[in-house]
Amino acid sequence: MRNTMPKIERNAPCWCGSGRKYKTCHMGFDEKIRKFELEGHIVPDRSLIKTPEQIEGIRKSSVINRACLDAVAEAIHAGMTTQEIDDIVYQTTVSMGGIPAPLHYEGYPKSVCTSINEEVCHGIPDDRHILKDGDIINVDCSTILNGYFSDSSRMFCIGDVSPEKRRLVEVTKECVELGLKEVRPWRFLGDMADAVHRHAVENGYTVVREIGGHGIGLEFHEDPFVSFVSKPGTEMLMVPGLCFTIEPMVNMGTDRIYEDEKNGWTIYTADGKPSAQWEIQLVVTETGAEVLTW
């Protein structure tokens, strides 16, 4: 995305809504972004930079999002159906005043995504999928509160999980943690992505290319698309107020995937080997990042 910031007079109110004059608020910030743009980098426009008021709204949505996954963590067990997980997420969300963001989103029929073993993402909960001893499952929860969106996912190991699967889950979490360390203002999403990708590959895994993270906050999915296979110094410039997810999908085998032709949602590994994913949502700060969901 190229920056298309309209010009603002120095003494006009700042675009961020602070009430301060532009020259004493975001003028220097905008000039710094413009410098990166002139150097040929991808930069965010103002619509992607969250104000303090918007960040506070996202924080409140994130409280519900985390509560949903905490409730799932307490209840999840072998013999449980994925529909029961969906019920927990729906009930927790609405009891706290929120709305499950996935429900009816582009026709999606449930309140959460439950992806088991070789399901990479967008697994649809139902009464037929029963968790078994040895399964790994990703539970991906997204929440709307007062128009603000939050999003995160966690992996759960069910019963006696094989060392190979457990290691995949652990390394994937490490990928997210290493990526987070690279989130600092005036660096690039590619710096974060490279840390994620290198750690996965060094451990013998691959990272899904076609699906990645995303901007979020005022909409469920905003720019930028967040790749986890990009090179350092590439992709969008990270600036204070940019809000996005880190959510690599790490496969034990090939990085190739395919979509379920019947339901049009669930994504599988092409070779049938397991996949794992952890997701956090963050906002870039003046010194690094504030993690909102996990």
Residue 7's pLDDT band, with cuts at 50, 70 and 90, is: confident
Share of residues in the chain with pLDDT > 90 (%): 95
Question: Which CATH topology does 49-293 take?
Answer: Creatine Amidinohydrolase (3.90.230)
Give domain limits for the chain: 49-293
Would you state the pLDDT for residue 4? 56
Quick one: three-class SS letters along the chain?
CCCCCCCCCCCCECCCCCCCEHHHCCHHHHHHHHHHHHCCCECCCHHHECCHHHHHHHHHHHHHHHHHHHHHHHHCCCCCEHHHHHHHHHHHHHHCCCEECCCCHHHCCCCCEEEECCEEECCCCCCCCECCCCCEEEEEEEEEECCEEEEEEEEEECCCCCHHHHHHHHHHHHHHHHHHHCCCCCCEHHHHHHHHHHHHHHCCCEECCCCCEEECCCCCCEEEEECCCCCCCCCEECCCCEEEEECCEEECCCCCEEECCCCCCCEEECCCCCEEECEEEEEECCCCEEEEEC
pLDDT tens-place string over residues 157-185: 999 999 999 999 999 999 999 999 999 99
pLDDT tens-place string over residues 182-226: 999 999 999 999 999 999 999 999 999 999 999 999 999 999 999
pLDDT tens-place string over residues 220-258: 999 999 999 999 999 999 999 999 999 999 999 999 999
| pTM score of the predicted model | 0.95
Would you state the pLDDT for residue 1? 45
